Amino acid sequence: MLKIHHLAMSRSDRIVWLAEELGLQYELVRHARDPKTFLATETLKAVSPVGKSPAIEDGNRVIHESAVIVEYLLDAYGKGRLRPQPGTAELDQYRYWLHCSESTLMLPVLLDMMTGMAQISSAAMDFFMTREYSTMFGYVEQTLQRHDYIAGPEFTAADIMVGYTLRLGAGTAVPGGKMRSPVEKMPGIQAYLGKLQHRAAFIRTQEILSA
């Protein structure tokens, strides 16, 4: 059976959500964080060489990294679902957002989180973070004015990837998170997140992970 290795307050939320959207049978293997370092304990390092989540096991295969896992699960079990058809402009957008969610879009979010936790502040860092938030979250806002979902008119796995990053930036993916993103000034993103969070598979995911 497919195993999803889950670490609380991590990107593995996305993989559980995707599995629920696809209606997959899977075993959820939970891993704890060290209370002092907040890093994963040794149990996850036995699966992931860098001790990071998400990771999945499918038979004798072990797959790491969110976007790679998403593509693997869609190839293996998607049956054409949650991904645009080959040769379409929507597929180009899907691929862009799938990877952007963990790179360019995530950059200001990570900087915001790290500087906040370390209580670091500098004019240069604040300027860079504000600019990146404005550029990337602004681009998401513009994109959502053209269609209901991030890659086109239909929900895809790219929405799972982007949705998590936006929720992290909004401070809703991590309990008690205080972020400096401009989400509250972006009605398109707010409406989009509301729509994602009302999906039945998302609600099931939250119930599973909070149990």
pLDDT digit string, tens, across residues 27-76: 999 988 877 767 767 888 889 888 889 999 999 999 999 999 999 999 99
Give me the pLDDT at residue 36, please.
74
Give me the pLDDT at residue 40, please.
67
pLDDT digit string, tens, across residues 124-161: 888 999 999 999 999 999 999 999 999 999 999 999 99
Q: Domains in the chain, start-ordered, CATH in brackets?
A: 2-82 (3.40.30.10), 89-199 (1.20.1050.10)
Report the b/e string of 126-158 with b at 16+ CB within 10 A: eeebeebbeebbeebbebbeeeebbbbeebbbb
Higher pLDDT, 179 or 154: 154
* Long-range CB contacts (within 8 A, 24+) of 144-150: 144/188, 144/189, 144/191, 144/192, 145/188, 148/195, 149/192, 150/93, 150/97, 150/192
Q: How confident is the model at residue 173 (pLDDT cuts 50, 70, 90)?
A: low
pTM of the predicted structure, to 2 decimals: 0.94
Give me the pLDDT at residue 35, please.
74
Among 31-40, 71-80, 107-116, 190-199, the minimum mean pLDDT is found in 31-40
Torsion angles phi and psi, residue 22, rounded to 5? -85, -10
Peptide bond into 54 cis (omega under 30): yes
Give me the pLDDT at residue 167, please.
95
Please give the full DSSP string across 4-60, using - where no structure is assigned. EEEESSSTHHHHHHHHHHHT--EEEEEEPBPTTT-SB-HHHHTTSTT--S-EEEETT
Task: Indicate if the alpha-carbon torsion angle 142, 13, 5, 53 is positive or negative.
Answer: positive
CA count, 13 A, side-chain hemisphere, 16: 25
- 3-state helix, strand, coil split of the chain in percent (to 5) is 55, 10, 35
- The rounded mean pLDDT for the chain is 92
Give me the pLDDT at residue 175, please.
59
Q: How confident is the model at residue 10 (pLDDT cuts 50, 70, 90)?
A: confident
Q: CA–CA separation, 43 vs 133, rounded Å?
A: 35
Q: CA–CA separation, 36 vs 101, rounded Å?
A: 29
Q: How confident is the model at residue 211 (pLDDT cuts 50, 70, 90)?
A: confident
Give me the pLDDT at residue 166, please.
97
